[in-house]
Structure 1
Amino acid sequence: MKRVIVVFFSLCLLSGCWDRRELKELGIVSAMGIDRNPDTGEILFTSQVVNPSVLKPEGGSGSPVKIITSTGDTVYKAIRNVNQEFDRNNFYAHNKVIVIGEQLAKEGILPILDAITRGKESRGYVWICIAKGMQASTILNQNQQGIEQVPANYLESLHENQKLNFDVTVIQLNDFYKKSLSLGTNPVIGVLEMSENPSSNGSKTETVQQVKLTGGAVVKGDKLVGYLNEKEARGYNWIIGEVNSGILTLPSKLEENKLVSVEIRKTKSKIKPDIKGGKISFAIEIKTSAILVEQQGAGTFKTRKEQYDYLNHIEKGLEKLIEEEVLNVVEKAQQDYQTDIFGFGTHLNKKDPKIWKDVKDQWLEDQFQNATVNVKVQADIGARELLKEPLKSKD
């Protein structure tokens, strides 16, 4: 009998899911944009909410997402004010991209992210990017030209495709915090901008606006200070070792005004600090392997030596190109932005913590700007693809 009574009272103490949230009551946010309202100075929050009725297997009419905007004195207040004009309670655990307007990014990014990361629903692997020259709301309201129905999935794919394209930089929330809160390095963020592309509609060709991921946004501390173009972003990626794949073009030796294309397959980079006579310098060593994937010029190799001489010519050209791109972006970071985006300070701290302790407070204002940087590149292009001679006419 006592056991029955104990079991009864135990069952009474058990509760149901008091804080459960029904799916039909939630608004699944797939992307968010944060801006400064130029008219009122308030925070303008834009959320892209998935419309499940359109995405269901049997299909539906209308847009696959709803764009909801709200304002507030702070980011969190703007987020909460969404409930005043939207019939769902927004759920942010599946958010894929955070887009920050250029003007607000110049004021400081960490305060913007504070309200988002304090919430339990935030994820550390969400992509962060800057809307170049425009409001983030413009990006989220733009219809995409890709296959994905949900625009946020399109933006996510652009970031994930960086492994195939080293002309851009990307960063996730966790890595942004790690770099922006460190004294020895500063982050570079992905950049979204609008580009005009031709689009064919039957016999008619039109120009359409398209969102494009390009270059990189340079951050000093947590404030946007400028941008890297695609060539500079490539140099940045060479230095930090974020080159997994990409295509480079070089002049062909076979025929004047013709090009060859090489595909980068594998790259390793090292940053080595050196201290001599109180002066700090850095050596950047880059090793890369590539294959020849295209030759515009036509010609014939009479001997195997001619083939390998040509291969060596392309390798030397590739090494020179990489060196130029690296030195170009280093100069821009040192002179234009005074921002250590390469982690030179972090490497110096690892090698000689005592020296780093002495210079860290004036690192960006003095030592980083004046540090000498030497670059050594070793390129290897597989010979097997080279043995296939370029196609040429028999005439």
Structure 2
Amino acid sequence: MEILSPAGNPEGLVASIMGGCDAVYLSGKSFGARAFAGNFTDAQLEGAINYAHDRGVKCYVTVNTLVKDTEMDDAVSFVKFLADIGADAILIQDLGLLKSLHAVDIKKHASTQMGIHSAEGLEWCKRNGLSRAVLNRELTFEEIEEITRDSPVETEVFVQSALCYCISGGCLFSSLVGGRSGNRGMCAQPCRKKYSQDGEKSFVMSCADIYGVDWLKKLEKAGVSSAKIEGRMRSQAYAYLSAKVYSSANKGLDPEEYANEVELLKTVFNRGYGDGYLGGVVTPVQKKYADNRGQYLGKATFTKRKFDTGQLDEKVGIRDGLTLYKGDEKIGGFKLTSVGKTASPFSLPDGTYEVYRTYDPRIDTIKNMIGEPPKFT
């Protein structure tokens, strides 16, 4: 099964490939569903594709926004350009664009924005010239297994990903309240805001991220062709670590061999993790917070600024960056200068606080290993 990693910019591309992925997906400066990622100029796209191919990695380009009539000629020209420079496939949402590309010789994948979630949808993909469908994140494993079994096209499933409260491609929330359409790559993420429900104010629509490494072998056995990692807006360390974790698991390595990378992955970006809907229809909402807090370490009681790191559920090391929270209030953060009995460098009321690791010095080692990316031009 293919491990497909994000490349939101040149740094992310190099990091994902160094992490061991089999394919990357990226975007040009237009028509991609992550308009606020760094993305690639036309000249950079050609260089990026060549760089990936030289390392045995496939390169898919997202052309997966809804396209206005006034943009259609430019979108078709862009896809023809991608075919000429050797892109392995495009991801597409707009049905008008799909129809306009029938004569362009490039593989076409149905973006998750198309909402493909059934055997009938996969049959439709086959009839309309699509060779792969990125399935809805809202499907359970049993549903994926059932529709993939006799699928006439390849299937791709998100295994490491943010999870929308609404259905991808079907949400108008951001465009209605903020004038920024998620279907045009500009989602303002209003579902990550606090709202009142039954007199309680919380993040009632903010979902925990999918962490599906334990589902890889089941998905492969079910016939899924590609395991997708989301994260074009995230750091190069995230790109490397997620690719490393999932490619290691895909190879069947002992989890102990990549346990350090799992720990670091949960440090560089973490708004809470879960199985999403893979394990069944249960709410993925995580009401406590919607931001990246890093790895949860446990609770610690501070008395006159002093505390013992031995109270925490996870081990910590010197120079680890810790951030303290009281409920949803961020109290402050600091780097450890010692382990065991130590102290906060700033004053805070005596009490018990939730502690998260937001920095680990090993992340800098990874960044230095990746280095500066080529110019790709």
Question: TM-score, normalized by length of structure 2?
Answer: 0.29
Question: TM-score, normalized by length of structure 1?
Answer: 0.28
- Higher strand share goes to which structure? 1
Looking at CA atoms only, which structure, 1 or 2, has the larger radius of gyration?
1
Higher relative contact order (CA 8 A, sep 6+): 2
